[in-house]
Amino acid sequence: MKNPELHGIGTVFRYTVQQHYKTPSIIVFLVILFLLAVCSMPAILLFSGHEQEVTETQIHTLYLRNESGFPLNAAAVQADARYAALTVVETDEDDEALSERVLKEKNAAAAVLAIREDAVELFRSAADQKKASKGAKDQFTLRTVYGENGEVTSADAETLNHVLEGALHQSLLDSLAITEEQAVTVQSSAVSQVAKLSEFRSGTEESSTDTHVFLNIGYCYLLVIICAMSIAHVNQTCMEEKVSKLVESLLVSVSPTALLAGKLLAVALFIFAGFGIVGIGFFISWQIAGRMGGFSFLVPTLERFLQFSISSIRISGGTLLLLILCIVIAFAMYAGLSGISGSCCSKTEDLQSASFLTMFFLMAGYLGGAFAPMFENDAVNLFCSLFPVTSVFTAFPNYLCGKIGLPVLLLALVIQAATAVLLVRTAGRVYKMMLLYRGSVPKPKQIVRMLKEERAAAKAAAGKEAQHGKE
């Protein structure tokens, strides 16, 4: 390496990484994290009640109590090959009597189809016809009951319930004498949007505010975790040599710049490797869940509950690269900030007061990033995307949701990168200046004054040395 200031980075990096992974507690922590990630999706699948549909049923008799007033075509149930032999017995018995039947007969299940009281009114009111037709799909309740001690399993009952749901739908269409296609056509809704002319011309699609808010909060969570880890690790790493009183012995072998850079790179590796391990865990978990019956229900469920539309997000290979770049820049910014605060500490007790400013910026950025989309204002989105404190939290999700264009995102990234470089360089200077400092944590004003003095002294010394060289 040509720059003598950077000589030894590789050695510092390797040593720091080696020592980090030699710590048993870290290995145990990573293994636990990996296992949790692997188990996560199968666990969700198991506990969410979405079980794989059965191919062969143990239900021989179904006692059906239809309270809805609408017909439920039993033939539609029997049309499913698995339930061809199913006997459907329509009954008016109350819950108690139905329960008795299910308890006594090991291969029986009961189903109750009802219509909500308010929905009855809704259907009857001519004035609310439009409203009724819009909300009609959620007005029925269909409950299939099975005995815990019988031969009918939960998955079996779940599958039958799905088939009954389909039969009800078909019966409703039949009662109105319309086809499936006609029903879909009538129920189709339109996505309405307001678009800027530039977006209209470029063909970009703007996502809904809910999607924007959801995405921003999710991204902010991810960044806060990464940045908080960065702050904790970098603070510790900047103090390590001071606390162990090894700093002077080290400085005859390696420059402070190389020492800090090597350690920061190692911290970056710990954090991103940790996320990589969790990512691999989730991938394996997804594969296992796929074999268990799939996750096809997850995205629609999320979309329905969170009003989240995955189709309106710009996702491509390029966005993944942008995501990685954004995260790396955010890490560098907060590593620089915590490098400055950590360098000012002489002992562990100093960390709390020294980290206050870094934590303040982190929380300000997080809150700004999380709440900015709620304003639904382009100016706010633009400001948050370009202002360095909030930019790391908002620029990328704003771009994903079409709130800002690629040129603005690139400008935001340039601003973020410049801020990160400035902070890391300042951290390097403060680290060098404060390595031999012992005392209370200096205030930001004092640090700026010391930096100015140091620069002036370095210039003066360089001038004198040059003069001495000429002589």
Partner 1 sequence: MGFSVTELYKKYGDKVVVDHLSFKMDQPGVYALLGTNGAGKTTSIRMILNMLAKDGGTVEWNGGPLTLRTCNVGYLAEERGLYPKNTLMDQLMYFAALRGVSKDEAKKRIAYWAKRLEAEEYLYPKQEGKKPVKPKKADQLSKGNQQKIQLMMALLSDPELLILDEPLSGLDPVNTDLFKSIIHEEIDKGKYLIMSSHQMATIEEFCTDLTILSRSKTVLQGNLAEIKKSYGRINLFVKAEQKLKDLIEAAGVTILSSVGFSYQCRVTGEAQANALLKTLVEQGITLIAFELREPSLHEIFVEKVGDVHEES
Please give the residue ranges that form the binding site for partner 1 (CB under 8 A).
4, 7-8, 11-12, 15, 18-19, 23, 240, 244-255, 435-436, 454, 457-458, 460-461, 464-465, 468
In whole angstroms, give the CA distance from residue 334 to residue 361: 9
Closer of 9 and 271 to partner 1 (Cβ): 9
User: Under a CB-based contact definition with an 8 Å cutoff, are residues 332 and 230 in contact?
Assistant: no
Give the separation between CA 74 and CA 84, rounded to whole angstroms.
Answer: 11
Specify the residue for token string 């500490």: 345
> Which lies closer to partner 1 via its Cβ, residue 253 or residue 307?
253
The least CB distance from residue 454 to partner 1, in Å, is 6
Phi and psi, residue 273, nearest 5°: -65, -40
Could you tell me the smallest distance in angstroms from the CB atom of residue 19 to partner 1?
Answer: 6
Q: Is 161 or 236 the residue whose CB approaches partner 1 more closely?
A: 236
Q: What are phi and psi of 147, to 5 degrees?
A: -85, 135
Sign of CA dihedral 76, 78, 83, 88: positive
Nearest C-alpha neighbor of 72 from the set 11, 114, 36: 114
Rg of the chain taking only CA atoms, in angstroms:
32
Query: Which C-beta is closer to partner 1: that of 246 or that of 280?
Result: 246
In the complex with partner 1, the residue whose CB is nearer, 16 or 144, is 16
Q: How far is the CB of 16 from partner 1 (least distance, A)?
A: 10
Quote the least distance from Cβ 433 to partner 1, whole Å: 8
Q: How far is the CB of 331 from partner 1 (least distance, A)?
A: 25
- Which lies closer to partner 1 via its Cβ, residue 15 or residue 387? 15
Q: How far is the CB of 295 from partner 1 (least distance, A)?
A: 43
**Angle made by CA atoms 445, 450, 454, in degrees to the nearest 5:** 150
Rounded least distance, CB 274 to partner 1, Å: 20
* Whole-Å CA distances, 426 to 56, 232, 292, 343, 353: 69, 19, 52, 11, 19
Element housing 236 (H / E): helix 209-243
Q: Considering beta carbons, is residue 245 or 304 the nearer one to partner 1?
A: 245
Question: CB of residue 427 vs partner 1: minimum separation in angstroms?
Answer: 17
* Residue number, 98 or 441, with CB nearest to partner 1: 441
Residue in this structure with the two tokens 């088939």, named with its chain if needed: 163
Q: Of 119, 98, 95, which Cα lies nearest the Cα of 172? A: 119
In whole angstroms, how close is the CB of 461 to partner 1 at the nearest point? 5
Which residues lie closer than 8 Å to 243 by C-beta, 6 or more apart?
346, 347, 348
**Least distance CB 395 / partner 1 (angstroms):** 38
Cβ 150 vs Cβ 130: under 8 Å: no
Give the nearest distance from C-beta 29 to partner 1 in angstroms.
Answer: 16
- The residue among 142, 214, 172 whose CA lies nearest residue 374 is 214
Is the CB of 31 or the CB of 246 nearer to partner 1? 246
Q: Based on CB atoms, which residue is closest to partner 1, 82 or 242? A: 242
Nearest Cα residue to 211 out of 316, 305, 315, 306: 306
- Closest residue by Cα to residue 446 from 351, 333, 354: 354
- The answer to whether 329 touches 420, Cβ cutoff 8 Å, is yes
Q: Which residues contact 410 (CB under 8 A, 6 or more apart)?
A: none
If the CB atoms of residues 121 and 248 are measured against partner 1, the closer one turns out to be: 248
